[in-house]
Amino acid sequence: MHPVFLELNRPFPSPNHALEDPNGLLAIGADLSPQRLIAAYDNGIFPWFSDDQPVLWWSPNPRIGLDLSAHNVNKSMQKFIRRTTLKVTVNNDFPQVIERCAALRTDETWINQEMIKAYIALHQLERAHSVEVWNGEELVGGLYGVLVGEVFCGESMFHTETNASKLAFHRFCQHFKQHGGVYIDGQVENPHLLSLGMEAIERECFLNLLNKHKNNKVDAKCWQQQVIF
């Protein structure tokens, strides 16, 4: 079995056709136009590739994510939140967040200049959003991702001060839930996401959840430029 090659006008195959090895590889090719990216996320698919590769599209099994009804902040993080002077905002500087996420990655994959341009375009269409953490005027942490109805598909996060990305994540979970959000998708399991409380979920279960919530909308006030902590 092989991944599907996508001509520019060819729709995505079902995520259930994704390979087991490498886990989740579904399709190759096409572009990162806003229309293509929106179609991907609406169907539980995301791009992930290196500069020397064509666009690769993935839908792994299992995925990882967080049901916001089960969101919990551990005691050490609660203590940090009570004492910190860091400020958390929404959508105040999407370009700088994605640039910093790219700059601080330790591998060659994922956030290249083509990706940065594509997600900034999604942000301008109000489908991609950022959370920023500030120490005074300095950006010290943050995250960004793509909104699919009541589901937020997290893409990447960064920090240059201890606990800054965790603060961004936990405060955003609270903010998103308050405005009608139900689930945070983390895509691929890793130790950091597990430490945030995310859990593995079978792809079929994730797709069912996504289909249930992708046509609903959270309160538009969720995405207004604002301080949330």
Q: Where are the domains of the chain?
A: 4-61, 64-227
Q: Where are the beta strands (DSSP E) in 137-220?
A: 138-148, 151-159, 183-185, 199-201
Could you read off the pLDDT of 165-191 as tens digits, one per residue?
999 999 999 999 999 999 999 999 999
Q: What predicted TM-score, i.e. pTM, was given to this entire model?
A: 0.95
Provide the CATH number for the domain formed by 64-227 in this structure: 3.40.630.70
CATH class for the domain made up of 4-61: alpha beta
18: Cβ contacts below 8 Å, ≥ 6 apart: 3, 24, 25, 26, 58, 59, 60, 61, 203
At 106 the pLDDT is 58
Q: Kindly state the average pLDDT of the residues 125-134.
A: 98
Q: Kindly state the average pLDDT of the residues 76-105.
A: 95
pLDDT > 90 fraction of the chain, expressed in percent and rounded: 92
Output the CA angle 178-85-176, nearest 5 degrees. Answer: 15
At 110 the pLDDT is 72
Main-chain dihedrals φ then ψ at residue 225, nearest 5 degrees: -60, 120
Could you read off the pLDDT of 2-26 as tens digits, one per residue?
889 998 889 999 999 999 999 999 9
